[in-house]
């Protein structure tokens, strides 16, 4: 059966939408964050030399969207920009104490969401799904497939 006959795109979109709504509600209640904001904090928190362009690249979003996201996270007091040593034009992103606290609070609802996924799927199905999603993401990485 083909992807079209199985309505794969629709099913992926529906699952992603429901997962994101569930995650957003839980993250907002626990840490005052949306899922994209939690992802940004996790990347910055795990990289002492994080840059705006590097975070945007990791998340697969454009830099103008990342600029707005970082500004919002700065306004919330979660992220600060620090001049990079040796290059006065470059900035490194760093979590503030409040940002570290929010990132820590985000772990529990995300762990609970992953536990729900684990309860819906068998371990080998989780591994297969992870592989399938990674392959799909790689296949559409350039973003110009719709034009073909």
Structural domain boundaries in the chain: 8-140
Question: Residue range 12-25: average pLDDT?
Answer: 96
Residue tagged 């470059």 (tokens): 90
pLDDT attached to residue 88 = 74
Residue 27 CA: distances (Å) to CA of 11, 54, 57, 58: 24, 24, 23, 21
What's the chain's length in residues? 148
Note the pTM of the prediction, 2 decimals. 0.85
Residue 144 CA: distances (Å) to CA of 80, 139, 140, 141: 34, 11, 8, 8
Fold (CATH) for 8-140: Arc Repressor Mutant, subunit A (1.10.10)
Question: Residue range 97-122: average pLDDT?
Answer: 96
């Amino acid at each position: 059966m083909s992807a079209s006959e199985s309505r794969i795109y629709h099913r992926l979109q529906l699952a992603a939408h429901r997962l994101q709504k569930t995650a957003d509600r839980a993250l907002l209640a626990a840490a005052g964050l949306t899922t994209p904001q939690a992802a940004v904090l996790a990347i910055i928190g795990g990289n002492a030399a994080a840059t705006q362009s590097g975070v945007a690249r990791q998340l697969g979003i454009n830099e103008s969207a990342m600029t707005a996201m970082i500004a919002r996270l700065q306004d919330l007091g979660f992220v600060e920009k620090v001049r990079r040593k040796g290059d006065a034009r470059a900035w490194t992103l760093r979590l503030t104490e409040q940002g570290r606290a929010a990132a820590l609070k985000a772990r529990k609802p995300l762990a609970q969401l992953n536990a729900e996924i684990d309860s819906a799927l068998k371990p080998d199905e989780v591994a297969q799904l992870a592989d399938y999603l990674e392959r799909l993401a790689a296949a559409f990485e350039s973003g110009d497939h719709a034009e073909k």
